[in-house]
């Protein structure tokens, strides 16, 4: 009997692993295309714009991210979780989609007006002496279009329509690549800035065309003023909004502050080196993080038993994570070639940052698994605490080390804060698991 039980468990694990690899392969294809296009743009950007241009692009990118997340990003993960739990109930789906789109439109309209009114102040805050307020105004104009595209992608993710979501990403990345290339070639930094904003409506229209094949937008729009959330649903959505605030506002704001600290103390070129090594780590970790977002998050959204959730985590740690760690080895040993390939000789100072950055990326990937549990369980208090600890430790360590270590300060701070973040998440999950077992007794 024991042999049969062991054999059955092995067979189940093999089948689960095959499914994981299948989803990972599909997500990796999308990420690979994005990585290739990002590499080409990054390479040409390094040649045409230099470290200062890369740093300024990072600032505008953070501004766009913050605005988009206020417009809809606060609802994205909550929408995915709600859709995943109700994906077989058409009436409930229409109710959820109608309400989240209405909320997004209201927030985006209000925010867009504020951005346009205070464009000059935002420009001074973001670019410290450079006059790019016209791009801040454009961001305000396109907030709802961009926010809607992100929200629609979240709905498709909740429906677990992986092929459609991957198709959206592939087509969008290719189109944005050509738009960015053309604009940056002819207009340099202005073109690069404009492309960051122009990419938003492109994403929206692509998302709409693919989304309507699964759930028509027409019945959602028709019912936009009906079927309001009840009090429990409003409370749940409010928690998701607050959690979204601390994940998609605090995180970009943290990068913004860290970059500003480096710029203020060491100059824009040093900040460009830090931005570049962050970009290298982001490109590589995107392969796994996209899988977590596409597959892991919707899967655990409908699971109540913490034991089953921990099984999903263990399966990932034993089947997918080792491949990610192995991939870090050639990147580190061929870091000089990677730097020259992705950037130019001018960026050679980042070669000393690879080891700490890659170690931090491994920790970040593991943290991504645990933080998703807080999301789906709508655990607002624990989520806010962990986000604040990560953000404050990242900023604090950077500030403390920047004068002594320069661009290394940001990388060391990333590793340190990620490690603290992961330890706290593991402790909180274990506490929640024990509470769950006690309540079951």
- Residue 399, pLDDT score: 93
What b/e string do you get for 70-105 counting C-beta neighbours within 10 Å, with b at 16 or more?
bbbbbbbbbbbbbbbbbbeeeebbbbbbbbbbebbb
| Token pair for 73 | 């990003």
Interatomic CA distance for residues 297 and 160, integer angstroms? 10
Interatomic CA distance for residues 390 and 387, integer angstroms? 5
Query: Which of 72-76, 301-305, 402-406 has the largest mean confidence?
Result: 402-406
Q: Which residue has the higher pLDDT, 231 or 382?
A: 382
- Residue 162, pLDDT score: 74
pLDDT tens readout for residues 205-255: 766 676 565 545 455 545 555 566 666 777 777 888 788 777 767 887 888
Q: Which residues contact 279 (CB under 8 A, 6 or more apart)?
A: 38, 42, 342
- Residue 225, pLDDT score: 53
Interatomic CA distance for residues 39 and 383, integer angstroms? 33
Are 70 and 111 within 8 A, CB to CB?
yes
Q: Which residues contact 231 (CB under 8 A, 6 or more apart)?
A: none
- Coil, helix or strand for 122? helix
To which residue do tokens 């109700």 refer?
86
Q: What is the mean pLDDT of residues 421-437?
A: 80
- Residue 175, pLDDT score: 81
Domain extents for the chain?
Answer: 11-440
Q: What is the DSSP string of 291-357?
A: HIIIIIHHHHHT---HHHHHHHHHHHHHHTHHHHHHHHHHHHHTHHHHHHHHS-GGGGGGGGGHHHH
Residue 9 has pLDDT above 50, yes or no: no
Are 410 and 398 within 8 A, CB to CB?
yes
Interatomic CA distance for residues 57 and 12, integer angstroms? 47
Entry pTM: 0.72
pLDDT tens readout for residues 20-42: 666 667 677 777 787 788 778 87
Q: What are phi and psi of 144, to 5 degrees?
A: -65, -40
pLDDT tens readout for residues 328-364: 999 999 999 998 887 878 888 899 999 999 999 999 9
CA dihedral 105, 297, 327, 35 (to 10 degrees): -20
Radius of gyration over every alpha carbon of the chain, rounded to an integer in angstroms: 22
């Amino acid at each position: 009997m024991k042999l049969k039980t062991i054999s059955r468990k092995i067979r189940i694990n093999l089948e689960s692993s095959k499914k994981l690899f299948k989803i990972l392969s599909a997500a990796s294809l999308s990420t690979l295309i994005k990585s290739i296009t990002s590499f080409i743009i990054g390479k040409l950007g390094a040649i045409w714009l230099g470290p200062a241009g890369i740093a300024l692009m990072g600032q505008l990118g953070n501004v766009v991210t913050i605005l988009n997340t206020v417009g809809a990003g606060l609802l994205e993960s909550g929408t995915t979780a709600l859709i995943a739990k109700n994906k077989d109930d058409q009436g409930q789906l229409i109710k959820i989609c109608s309400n989240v789109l209405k909320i997004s439109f209201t927030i985006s309209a209000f925010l867009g007006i504020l951005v346009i009114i205070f464009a000059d102040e935002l420009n001074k805050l973001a670019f410290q002496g450079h006059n790019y307020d016209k791009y801040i105004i454009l961001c305000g104009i396109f907030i709802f279009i961009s926010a809607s595209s992100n929200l629609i992608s979240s709905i498709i993710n909740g429906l677990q329509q992986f092929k459609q979501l991957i198709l959206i990403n592939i087509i969008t990345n290719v189109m944005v690549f050509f738009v960015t290339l053309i604009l940056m070639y002819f207009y340099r930094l202005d073109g690069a800035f404009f492309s960051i904003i122009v990419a938003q409506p492109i994403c929206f229209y692509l998302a709409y065309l693919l989304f309507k094949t699964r759930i028509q937008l027409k019945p959602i729009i028709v019912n936009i003023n009906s079927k309001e959330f009840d009090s429990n649903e409003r409370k749940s959505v409010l928690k998701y909004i607050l959690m979204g605030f601390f994940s998609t506002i605090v995180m970009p704001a943290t990068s913004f502050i860290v970059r500003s600290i480096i710029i203020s103390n060491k100059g824009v070129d040093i900040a460009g080196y830090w931005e570049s090594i962050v970009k290298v780590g982001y490109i590589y970790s995107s392969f796994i993080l996209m899988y977590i977002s596409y597959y892991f998050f919707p899967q655990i959204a409908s699971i109540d038993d913490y034991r089953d959730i921990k099984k999903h985590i263990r399966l990932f740690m034993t089947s997918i994570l080792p491949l990610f760690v192995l991939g870090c080895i050639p990147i580190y040993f061929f870091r000089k070639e990677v730097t020259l390939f992705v950037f130019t000789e001018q960026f050679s100072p980042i070669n000393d940052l690879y080891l700490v950055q890659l170690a931090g990326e491994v920790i970040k990937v593991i943290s991504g698994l645990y933080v998703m549990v807080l999301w789906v369980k709508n655990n607002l208090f624990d989520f806010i605490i962990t986000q604040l600890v990560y953000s404050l430790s990242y900023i604090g360590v950077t500030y403390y080390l920047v004068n002594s270590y320069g661009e290394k300060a940001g990388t060391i701070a990333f590793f340190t804060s990620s490690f603290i973040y992961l330890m706290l998440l593991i402790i909180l999950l274990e506490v929640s698991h024990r509470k769950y077992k006690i309540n079951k007794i």
